[in-house]
Amino acid sequence: MNFDQVIDRNEYPALKLNKPLLAEHFGNDKALPFWVADMDFRAPDVVIDSLRKRVEHGIFGYEYKNDSYFNALNRWYKNRHQWSIDQDHIEFCPGVLNAVSILINQHSDTGDGVIIQPPVFFEFRMVIRSNNRKIIKNPLKLVNGKYQMDFEDLEEKAANPKTKIMIICNPHNPVGRVWTRAELAQAGEICRQHNVLVISDEIHGDIVYKPHHYTPFASISDELAQISATCLSPAKTFNIAGMIDAMTVIANVQHRERFHDFAHRYQINKTNVFASAAIEAAYSQGGEWLDELLTYLHANINFLQSYFHNNLPQIKLIEPEGTFLVWLDFKELGLDAKALEKFLTQKAQLALNSGYWFGREGAGYARMNIACPQSVLQEAVSRLTNAVHNYL
């Protein structure tokens, strides 16, 4: 696979290139985009071949997810992540955020609290708010350049009887932590003691750099599986987010039945023939491609890190353990959150997600998507260098 190939995404309406959105979020519709969390790489050939074959068949009527689909999914998690998923525990819906929203709705009432760990994926906040629930922050702590969970604060927040849910982002977007089994077990135990349901968003679970190791939350113990719902998706792993298909694993039978009834009531669990063709191929034959991708992504991280070290030491990269998103520390530039945003979008002409999108804890930082050819990253750092030298 040639990850260096630059592919023009203007041919189709890529969200990251949407001019009105770029103008709205960045005040600059010409800014080079690193904000949307998808990749600029072609999906694995096995996925593209499978889709081609599916198109050639020519009949696109109603389908169901058959054994070979489930087997591919199960083998992937078993072989790659040592997690045997009981097929009966899997529910489907269009995307991970749909599942998060449904779970919030089903496991809490208006005004109840939902814990998140900022700086964290901004859509969690939107989903909690749109369900009229209260955001309860358990901010991460930055200790010697590494983000950690604050368990003491978590204990306090979880103990409030109005707190009903905790969303764990594993691996964590945007700070790139791949939570260890011990960290997840400790957070899970606190939630279990206080009857707090854990929604574990594991959409980035396959994008993990050695020696780090992704631990599916529900694989830790039966007790933790019973108090959790795990959101999975091949969207990030194989760059197929536009396929719109995701899975939720729910071991608790009552919780699962509620989710199932809801999905059935609103008919959101139908099967998309192209998504199925893509996902089955990806999970059964996409492992080698993913290994190559991880090598390329890691080289991109190394490139950025050494570039900043040698040329722009004011900018620090918080080394990610997983995800194709990097969290950049711009605090040494001495700009407040809005001034930093203006500097990045107007002077450097870059569309990065400002750190404050992820909560006020993110002020002074920005998130950058590094899943692109290295030549595109070179253009970005050259813009940054010019901006730092000419405008600060």
Q: How far is the CB of 95 from ligand PLP (least distance, A)?
A: 3
Give the one residue of 138, 173, 237, 345 binding ligand PLP; rule: CB under 6 A: 173
- What's the first-to-final CA gap in the chain, in angstroms? 40
Choice between 130 and 221, CB closer to ligand PLP = 130
Residue type, 220: I
Going by their DSSP bridges, the two strands 113-116 and 163-169 should be labelled as parallel
State the Cα–Cα distance between residues 4 and 289, nearest whole angstrom: 14
Choice between 173 and 300, CB closer to ligand PLP = 173
- Residue 51 near ligand PLP by CB under 6 A: no
Strand, coil or helix: 153: helix
Q: How far is the CB of 217 from ligand PLP (least distance, A)?
A: 14
Give the one residue of 136, 246, 275, 304 binding ligand PLP; rule: CB under 6 A: 246
> Are residues 206 and 237 in contact, defined by beta-carbon separation less than 8 angstroms?
yes
Which string of x and - marks every residue 80-99 that binds ligand PLP (by CB under 6 A)?
---------------xxx--
- Residue 241 near ligand PLP by CB under 6 A: yes
Angle at 84 between CA 83 and CA 90, to 5 degrees: 105
State the Cα–Cα distance between residues 361 and 121, nearest whole angstrom: 12
Restricted to residues 285-344, the positions that interact with ligand PLP (CB under 6 A) are none
What kind and span of H or E run contains 143?
A: strand 141-143
With contacts defined by CB under 6 A, how many residues of the chain interact with ligand PLP? 13
- Residue 121 near ligand PLP by CB under 6 A: yes
- Residue 43 near ligand PLP by CB under 6 A: no
- Residue 233 near ligand PLP by CB under 6 A: yes
Edge-first strand order for the sheet with 228-232 is 90-93, 246-250, 228-232, 197-201, 163-169, 113-116, 134-137
Give the one residue of 43, 72, 149, 203 binding ligand PLP; rule: CB under 6 A: 203
List contacts with ligand PLP (CB under 6 A). Answer: 37, 95-97, 121, 169, 173, 201, 203, 233, 235, 241, 246
